[in-house]
Amino acid sequence: MSAVPMISESQSLDMTAWTQTRLSRVEQALSQWVGDGAPAGLGDAMRYAVLDGGKRLRPLLVLAAYEAVCSGATASEVHDDAALRAGMDEAALRAGLDEAALRAGLDEAALRAACAVELIHAYSLVHDDMPCMDNDVLRRGKPTVHVQFGEAQALLAGDALQAFAFELLTPDNTLIPAATQATLCRLLARAAGSAGMAGGQAIDLASVGVALTEDQLRQMHRLKTGALLQGSVLMGAACGHAVGAAYQALSDYGAAMGLAFQVVDDILDVVADSATLGKTAGKDAAADKPTYVSLLGLARAQAYAQELLAEAHEALARSGLPDTRALAALADMVVRRSH
Amino acid sequence: MSAVPMISESQSLDMTAWTQTRLSRVEQALSQWVGDGAPAGLGDAMRYAVLDGGKRLRPLLVLAAYEAVCSGATASEVHDDAALRAGMDEAALRAGLDEAALRAGLDEAALRAACAVELIHAYSLVHDDMPCMDNDVLRRGKPTVHVQFGEAQALLAGDALQAFAFELLTPDNTLIPAATQATLCRLLARAAGSAGMAGGQAIDLASVGVALTEDQLRQMHRLKTGALLQGSVLMGAACGHAVGAAYQALSDYGAAMGLAFQVVDDILDVVADSATLGKTAGKDAAADKPTYVSLLGLARAQAYAQELLAEAHEALARSGLPDTRALAALADMVVRRSH
């Protein structure tokens, strides 16, 4: 790969255009893939849960991280091309894949990873909304999945969406190297599982009415929301075969941005109204759940979100990657959003 | 690999000893892995759902299929060693792995695959038993997970078990080739998802009180129970890098045996009592669910199970694999079991 000139962060990126291009690719892929081959009722519930809604923050993080790594100045600095080739399928090796074909495989991997994290996010919302959990009837201004399709179908649709995330990551007859497929499954499984999202939800369940320390609250939020957001960044980085300092910096970016997301969520639950949020406001306080606002007060929670944002920017600055503008803009968006 | 003499099916295998050795390995691995690193309450529910119960049929199928492939007379007939080497991690290639190390990696893959299918099976039981599904309070003679831990924790434990299955299949710093990891994730995701187990459960949901044709009933059962049983066989075969006719024959074996399992389940629901089954008998009839017994009558359902057993044996006979005795014995067990 030839050297790419360093792009200054101050050089402007048309983030609206950047986002629209990526979103349209993701929406098209989700629309094509989700529910395909499923029995009718189940497929309908899966599509209802995933399509036509959501900010798609996680897919955008995957793609932004992937593109940031691909912007890398030299191959040896940010990529590990030897590992990439070693992980390639025999068929690809036999076919004597050139650089362009290799890149096409990685582009496909990034798109699949973007969709897979969104499926995990979507399934978690379906299960979270069920009567035995948050018992929510409204999501993104529409009836929740169990209200629309019944509880049993909602349970199954969530289960099937989780399985489908891993299916998306492991296509056969593909240019995506086997090593990339395995790495993506590993990152997603860890981010979604008992030491990630599901674990965070379990701590959340157990914490109702309990006074948590700030450390305990941070740990809960890191798992519940942060793990999948950070996982999105890591999956994008893995698609570009990032290594060393670049990978570590992206990981730190993901951790700070992921926690910032939840701090802002806690703030919005207090300051926004239900119409703006598209879900019930004031729920945490009503449910006596510990939040950053209840623990630190509103002003200190807001200051903490800004600190985390600065941390995220600092991590990007030391990544050695020449163009991290989309990642920077996404972190800004996470902290400055109104819903 | 050197030629191994053909072993006649009539040569006896001490199936009790065979099973005990494998079971003890699987139980030990599950006990070590499940719930590790999970928050306390969630980890307890995950372990309760998985440990100390169940016939472990799926893990035994994985291991029996793996061993059958490894019994192959010549490498070129049943293995694809070139693909295996191409899929190896760079680190392993650099280390100049020898045949023994390679075998150790595949042995580990088979054990992990055995545990992963059991986790998927266990999670499906946890979710199936919930009030919005079958509303069962008893499983293997113990209170079901939601009775013991509450519905929210049961929902999360099921979700976390599914994620953990994929985590188990994708360890890093391992001798398991990346290609094997990716293939195992692909097979498991397909077997568990909307075109497999979850899809079959959705058809099952929709079929209460509906008159199905035999084709529709077969399709439902193939997905609901058959997909994961067949998937177990295919995952074991993939760990041994089975190719061509051997792989196809094992796939056919898995399909016949998987369907036989469900036909026998339908029969046992009618002829056995709850104490023997360890779950509520007569449930299908009470729920007005279509079964092989309601469709064909008891005698023809029993004859059909025998036909499927013969099909499974026939597939093993044409696999070209010299020692398929454990797979044969497991198929016999599936059809002749009393619970």
Residue B40, judged by CB atoms within 10 A of its CB (0-12, 13-18, 19+), counts as: exposed
Give the pLDDT score at B76: 44
State the best of B34, B50, B93, B166 to mutate against chain A, taking most chain A CBs within 10 Å.
B166
Give the pLDDT score at B4: 43
Q: How many CB atoms lie within 10 A of CB A285?
A: 13
Give the pLDDT score at B94: 46
* Statement: residue B320 has pLDDT above 80: yes
How much is the CA Rg of chain A, to the nearest whole Å?
Answer: 20
Chain A positions touching B130 (Cβ under 8 A) are 132, 155
Q: b or e along B28-37 (b: 16 or more beta carbons within 10 Å of the residue's beta carbon)?
A: ebbeebbbee
- Name the least confident of A270-274, B98-102, B247-251: B98-102
For residue A34, give how far its alpha carbon lies from the nearest alpha carbon of chain B (Å): 10
Contact across the interface for A182 and B192, Cβ inside 8 Å = no
The token pair at A332 is 């800004």
* Statement: residue B217 has pLDDT above 80: yes
Q: What is the arithmetic mean of pLDDT over B88-117? A: 76
* Statement: residue A75 has pLDDT above 80: no
For residue B116, give how far its alpha carbon lies from the nearest alpha carbon of chain A (Å): 12
Count of residues making up chain A = 339
Has residue B298 been placed in a domain?
Answer: yes
Has residue A86 been placed in a domain?
Answer: yes
CATH code assigned at B258? 1.10.600.10
A132 touches chain B (CB under 8 A): yes
Q: For chain A, where are the alpha helices, taking DSSP H only?
A: 15-33, 40-50, 57-70, 75-78, 81-86, 90-94, 99-128, 145-149, 151-169, 178-192, 197-206, 214-221, 227-239, 244-271, 274-277, 283-286, 292-296, 298-317, 325-336
**Among candidate residues B276, B189, B185, the one with its CA nearest the CA of residue B239:** B185
Contact across the interface for A167 and B183, Cβ inside 8 Å = no
Give the pLDDT score at B283: 73
Backbone angles phi, psi at A321, to 5 degrees: -85, 135
Percent of chain B with pLDDT strictly greater than 70: 86
Nearest CA in chain A to B84: A90
B268 touches chain A (CB under 8 A): no
The token pair at A28 is 């098209």
**pLDDT band at B209, cuts 50/70/90?**
confident
As a whole number of angstroms, the distance between CA A238 and CA A217 comes to 29
For residue A51, give how far its alpha carbon lies from the nearest alpha carbon of chain B (Å): 17
Q: What is the arithmetic mean of pLDDT over A140-153? A: 95
As a whole number of angstroms, the distance between CA B56 and CA B190 comes to 20
Residue A31, judged by CB atoms within 10 A of its CB (0-12, 13-18, 19+), counts as: middle
Q: What is the arithmetic mean of pLDDT over A159-179? A: 93
How much is the CA Rg of chain B, to the nearest whole Å?
Answer: 20
Contact across the interface for B35 and A194, Cβ inside 8 Å = yes
Contact across the interface for A41 and B202, Cβ inside 8 Å = yes
* Statement: residue B2 has pLDDT above 70: no
Q: At what angle do helices A244-271 and A325-336 cross, to 10 degrees?
A: 20
Q: Report which of residues A54 and A28 the model is more confident about.
A: A28
DSSP line for A212-239 = --HHHHHHHHIIIIIHHHHHHHHHHHHH
Residues β-bridged to residue A79: A242
Residue-wise pLDDT tens digits, B162-200: 999 999 999 997 888 898 999 999 999 999 999 999 999
**pLDDT band at B279, cuts 50/70/90?**
low
Mean pLDDT score of chain A = 88
Give the pLDDT score at A96: 61
Using CB atoms and an 8 Å cut-off, which of residues 194-253 of chain B contact chain A? 194-196, 198-199, 201-203, 205-206
Q: What is the arithmetic mean of pLDDT over A97-117? A: 87
Has residue B7 been placed in a domain?
Answer: no
Residue-wise pLDDT tens digits, A182-202: 999 999 999 999 999 999 999
- Give the total number of structural domains in chain A: 1
Give the pLDDT score at A45: 98
Per-residue CA distances from B60 to A140, B120, B189, B235 (Å): 45, 15, 19, 12
CB-CB contact of B306 with B299 (8 Å): no
Has residue B9 been placed in a domain?
Answer: no
**pLDDT band at B81, cuts 50/70/90?**
low
A264 touches chain B (CB under 8 A): no
**pLDDT band at B84, cuts 50/70/90?**
low
Residue-wise pLDDT tens digits, A192-231: 999 999 999 999 999 888 888 999 999 999 999 999 999 9
Amino acid, single-letter form, for residue A249: A
Q: Which of A41, A182, A203 comes nearest B181 by C-beta?
A: A182
B47 touches chain A (CB under 8 A): no
Give the pLDDT score at B73: 43
Residues 6 or more apart whose CB falls under 8 angstroms from that of A199 comprise A193, A223, B37, B38, B39, B42, B160
**pLDDT band at B32, cuts 50/70/90?**
very high
A135 touches chain B (CB under 8 A): no
Could you list the residue range(s) of the whole structural domain that residue A76 is in? 15-336
Has residue A126 been placed in a domain?
Answer: yes
Chain B positions touching A170 (Cβ under 8 A) are 182-183, 185-186, 189
Q: How many CB atoms lie within 10 A of CB B23?
A: 15
A34 touches chain B (CB under 8 A): no
Residue ranges with strand state E in B291-332: none
Give the pLDDT score at A82: 53
Half-sphere exposure of A141 (CA within 13 A, CB side): 9
State the best of A42, A48, A89, A123 to mutate against chain B, taking most chain B CBs within 10 Å.
A42
Chain B positions touching A178 (Cβ under 8 A) are 87, 177-179, 181-183
**pLDDT band at A293, cuts 50/70/90?**
very high
Q: For B197-282, where are the alpha helices, taking DSSP H only?
A: 197-206, 214-221, 227-239, 244-271, 274-277
- Name the least confident of A23-32, A78-87, A142-151, A191-200: A78-87
Percent of chain A with pLDDT strictly greater than 90: 70
As a whole number of angstroms, the distance between CA B321 and CA B70 comes to 9
**pLDDT band at A1, cuts 50/70/90?**
very low
Categorise residue B141: left if φ over 0, alpha if ψ from -120 to 50, beta otherwise. Answer: left
Q: Report the range out of A283-287, B56-60, B275-279 with the highest average pLDDT.
A: B56-60
**Among candidate residues A257, A221, A251, the one with its CA nearest the CA of residue A238:** A251
